[in-house]
């Protein structure tokens, strides 16, 4: 894919990046970061050169998910080298702030910091840059969506009504700023008990599908609520790299193929 609306915006500030994919959600805790990192790793598995940018300023989780930490190196005092692990190039606002320090910057400062992080990272020849967006449709998410030329956006939601209501708002926000919608990922769609195999739709069922139909966008795939996803993420080896032959990894690869 090429930047479809590059003509309307200033030339991309991300020169070494061919496609930018936003992974967004209406609210926190629905699995946006988990999806972003596994989608990025699935694209690596498909043979692409991929970077991830953690723009979730109030809860950066990519350092944990990719087992990377420390202040990024700067060869020239102005630009930063991305960290590398699992075949990914990674940059996170989390590298710049202490673990237990709340970010108390105002919106414009955050946006400026994130734009700098995106443009001053020395990304090396990327087919895809996956951006883990801040949740919601606030000022920061909106400005990022407007200022970085996006190839498209992926919206993550659970099937629960309260999550879907917010996910619709996120979807409409990208529509408003003319970022193409690549589709919806329904996360935590059912839970399979590790003991007895009983399957239960904890957050309801079919919500992602209904939303996709209603807005005429693709349902890229769904993920069950599965302890392996959480466990491997917390260990810094997301499921796509920890268990590449699992059904879960296959689902993420399918989502990557559907989106790309």
Binding positions for ligand ADP, rule: CB under 6 A: 25, 28-34, 61, 187-188, 223, 225-226, 229-230, 233
Shortest separation between residue 199's beta carbon and ligand ADP, angstroms: 14
Closer CB to ligand ADP, residue 23 or residue 49? 23
Nearest of 221, 225, 231, 223 to residue 257 by alpha carbon: 221
Of the pair 13, 59, the CB lying nearest ligand ADP is at 59
Which conformational region is residue 67 in: left (phi greater than 0), alpha (psi within -120 to 50 degrees), or beta? left
Is 28 marked as binding a ligand?
A: yes
Task: Tell me 8's DSSP state.
Answer: G
Is residue 32 annotated as involved in ligand binding? yes
Query: What is the rounded distance in angstroms from the CA atom of residue 51 to the CA atom of residue 30?
Result: 22
Question: For 86, left (φ over 0), alpha (ψ -120 to 50), or beta?
Answer: left
User: Structure tokens of 112?
Assistant: 């400026």
Residue 219, token pair as written in the block: 């349902």
Q: Which is nearer to ligand ADP, 210 or 230 (CB)?
A: 230
As given in the structure block, the two tokens for residue 98 are 């202490």
The 10 Å CB-count burial string (b at 16+, else e) for 98-131 is: eeeeeeeeeeeebbebbbebbeebbbeebbbbbb
Please, what is the minimum distance in Å from the beta carbon of residue 117 to ligand ADP?
18
Mapped onto helix, strand or coil, the DSSP state of residue 145 is helix
User: Quick one: 30 or 181, whose CB is closer to ligand ADP?
Assistant: 30
Q: With respect to ligand ADP, which residue has the nearer C-beta, 18 or 34? A: 34
DSSP states along 7-42: GGSSPPS-TTEEEEEEEEESSTTSSHHHHHHHHHHH
For residue 142, the minimal CB distance to ligand ADP (Å) is 18
- Please tell me whether 246 is known to bind a ligand: no
The answer to the question of whether 9 is labelled as a binding residue is no
Q: Does 33 carry a binding-site annotation?
A: yes
Name the minimum Å distance from CB 16 to ligand ADP.
Answer: 26
The 3-state DSSP class for residue 146 equals helix
Q: Are 50 and 40 in contact (CB under 8 A)?
A: yes
Shortest Cβ 248–ligand ADP spacing (Å): 8
Q: What is the dihedral of CA 192, 60, 163, 149, to 10 degrees?
A: -120
Minimum CB–partner distance for residue 208 and ligand ADP (Å): 13
Name which of 217 and 225 has its Cβ closer to ligand ADP. Answer: 225
* In the complex, least distance from residue 231 CB atom to ligand ADP, rounded to whole angstroms: 8
Kindly tell me which of 150 and 255 has the beta carbon lying closer to ligand ADP: 255
Write out the binding residues: 26-33
Write out the binding residues for ATP: 26-33
């Amino acid at each position: 894919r090429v930047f479809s609306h590059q003509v309307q915006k200033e030339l991309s500030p991300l020169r070494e990046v061919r496609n930018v994919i936003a992974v967004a959600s209406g609210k926190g805790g629905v699995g946006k970061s988990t999806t972003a990192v596994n989608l990025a790793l699935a694209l690596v598995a498909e043979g692409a050169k991929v970077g991830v940018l953690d723009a979730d300023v109030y809860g950066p989780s990519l350092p944990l998910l990719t087992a990377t930490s420390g202040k990024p190196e700067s060869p020239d005092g102005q630009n930063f080298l991305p960290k590398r692990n699992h075949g990914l190039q990674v940059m996170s606002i989390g590298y710049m702030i202490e673990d237990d320090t709340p970010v108390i910057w105002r919106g414009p400062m955050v946006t400026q910091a994130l734009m700098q992080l995106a443009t001053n990272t020395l990304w090396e020849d990327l087919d895809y840059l996956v951006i883990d967006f801040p949740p919601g449709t606030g000022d920061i998410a909106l400005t990022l969506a407007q200022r970085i030329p996006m190839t498209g956006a992926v919206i993550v939601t659970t099937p629960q009504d309260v999550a879907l209501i917010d996910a619709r708002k996120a979807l409409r926000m990208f529509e408003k700023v003319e970022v193409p919608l690549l589709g919806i990922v329904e996360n935590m769609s059912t839970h399979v008990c590790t003991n007895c195999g009983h399957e239960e739709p904890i957050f309801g069922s079919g919500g992602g599908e209904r939303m996709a139909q209603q807005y005429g966008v693709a349902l890229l795939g769904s993920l069950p609520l599965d302890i392996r996803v959480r466990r491997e993420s917390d260990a810094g080896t997301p499921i796509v790299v920890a268990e590449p032959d699992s059904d879960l990894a296959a689902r993420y690869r399918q989502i990557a193929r559907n989106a790309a």
